Amino acid sequence: MIESSVWHPFTQHGLGEAIPLVTRAEGAVLHTADGRRIVDAISSWWVTTHGHRHPRIVAAMREQAERLDQIIFAGWTHEPAEELARGLRAMMPDSLTRVFYSDSGSTAVEVALKMALGYWLARGEARHRILVMEHGYHGDTIGAMSVGARGVFNRAYAPLLFDVETVPFPAAGHEQATLGALTRACAGGEAAAFIVEPLVLGAGGMLVYPAWVLCEMRAICAAAGVLFISDEVMTGWGRTGTLLAGEQAGIVPDILCLSKGLTGGAVPLAVTMASEAVWAAHYSRDRATMFFHSSSYTANPLACAAAVANLAIWREEPVLARVADLGARQAARLAGLAAHPAVSGVRQIGTIAALEIGGRDGYLSALGPGLLRFFGERDLLLRPLGDTVYVMPPYCIGDDDMDRVYAAIGEACDLIA
């Protein structure tokens, strides 16, 4: 334990838990100052897709640091940003022709929302309403919170949040209710955009829904001219078994948000990719209609160089084969726990596995802090969402470490049952 003034995110400081001091990491393993070897079973908040310190990403950042560290991006450019935009265009759906840089998943969402509203203003249509999905999570900045689920995460900040229209989550057997609600919400000409996490809602509890529903939702928005914003901040970069989750539904959004695995999880960076129509609405000689968004570090060269290296890894290494293999290894272990009396449900999509433990009490479940401590004591980085324990490791995790993770989850289940 060290004396510290640091105020940590989403951390219950009042519990007085020791906060591990991490000094080094490689692959799926973290090393702490007190000599512990910890398995990173959630990819350090879902970011380190290829594992910590992938040599190609480390080398790319080192080389870039020797040349250009930072440059204003308003009206200036640099090679890593240009190369990354070319790479993303080649890799992502054809109709997403424009790449706007920012720094996090939350800002990628803010940018998407601003693009959507700017689009309708430029077209002279009074469309202001944003449609969202129940249980969604899109980040913790004001706009991102506004389009996320209301509740314990943001109750104190309610005065800052704007009104949205929420369609119900398409739970099994209730898919038509979702589609009906979305159709009604799109009618009337006030809806500007629908923002959704494709196939799986992450922070909402790893809630999975079928690809055909995503496909139908896309079609409903297209028919009503409502912009479709796909938030692939968590699902992108192979997490659900394909490069993008949207591929499994055959959909292409008008606006796509990517972050987390964009740099292989090494440094912060995000992109909001937009269709030519969204770009064209902001293309003008009139200074009153440019896209009014920036931050000091927009498209930081070190971050762009890391992302360029990530794209090369995707092109040249068998990443999707690793993803498929990890998915199969997750499935085998999950099956071993599905019938456990303490487990009330299991879910999996691609590399993401989740178990509901105990009585479905949600995020504030009394089990949460105890589970967190339990896994910490077993040298595992697992961070249950209340009573939902999920495993989302780097694609390079070894079998022994996977076994350790699932043995501990089994042990926790035994204590709860």
Closest approach of ligand PLP to the CB of residue 401, in Å: 23
Residue with Cβ nearer ligand PLP (260 or 333): 260
Closest approach of ligand PLP to the CB of residue 148, in Å: 8
Closest approach of ligand PLP to the CB of residue 87, in Å: 21
Tokens read off for 6 = 């640091």
Residue 45, annotated ligand binder? Answer: yes
- The answer to whether the beta carbons of residues 404 and 380 sit under 8 Å apart is yes
Residue with Cβ nearer ligand PLP (87 or 261): 261
Q: How far, in Å, are 244, 318, 322 from residue 312 at the CA level? A: 17, 11, 16
Best CA proximity match to 323, nearest among 391, 239, 402, 406:
239
Best CA proximity match to 209, nearest among 244, 174, 239:
174
Residue 238, annotated ligand binder? Answer: no
Closest approach of ligand PLP to the CB of residue 137, in Å: 6
Closest approach of ligand PLP to the CB of residue 106, in Å: 3
Residue with Cβ nearer ligand PLP (79 or 134): 134
Residue 365, annotated ligand binder? Answer: no
Closest approach of ligand PLP to the CB of residue 45, in Å: 7
CA diameter of the chain: 66
Residue 69, annotated ligand binder? Answer: no
Residue 146, annotated ligand binder? Answer: no
Residue 260, annotated ligand binder? Answer: yes
Q: Which residue is nearest to ligand PLP (CB)?
A: 105
Cα 211 vs. chain centroid, distance in angstroms?
Answer: 18
Angle among Cα 159, 162, 164 to the nearest 5 degrees reads 135
Rounded CA separation 89/247 (Å): 15
Sign of the torsion angle spanned by Cα atoms 265, 270, 276, 278:
positive
Residue with Cβ nearer ligand PLP (333 or 348): 348
Instruction: Note the residues at the interface with ligand PLP (CB under 6 A).
Output: 104-106, 109, 137-139, 197, 202-203, 231, 233-234, 259
Residue 105, annotated ligand binder? Answer: yes
Residue with Cβ nearer ligand PLP (139 or 143): 139
Residue 114, annotated ligand binder? Answer: no
Residue with Cβ nearer ligand PLP (104 or 348): 104
Closest approach of ligand PLP to the CB of residue 62, in Å: 24
Edge-to-edge, what's the strand order for the sheet holding 96-102?
A: 96-102, 270-275, 255-258, 227-231, 191-196, 129-133, 165-167
Residue 231, annotated ligand binder? Answer: yes
Terminal-to-terminal C-alpha distance of the chain: 33
Residue with Cβ nearer ligand PLP (233 or 405): 233
| Residue type present at position 409 | I
Say which residue the tokens 């840089």 belong to: 101
Specify the pairing of strand 191-196 against strand 227-231.
Answer: parallel
- The answer to whether the beta carbons of residues 393 and 40 sit under 8 Å apart is yes
Tokens read off for 141 = 């900045």
Show binding-site residues for pyridoxal 5'-phosphate: 105-106, 231, 295-296
- Binding-site members are 45, 105-106, 137, 231, 260, 294-296, 383
Residue numbering of the annotated binding site for substrate: 45, 137, 260, 294, 383
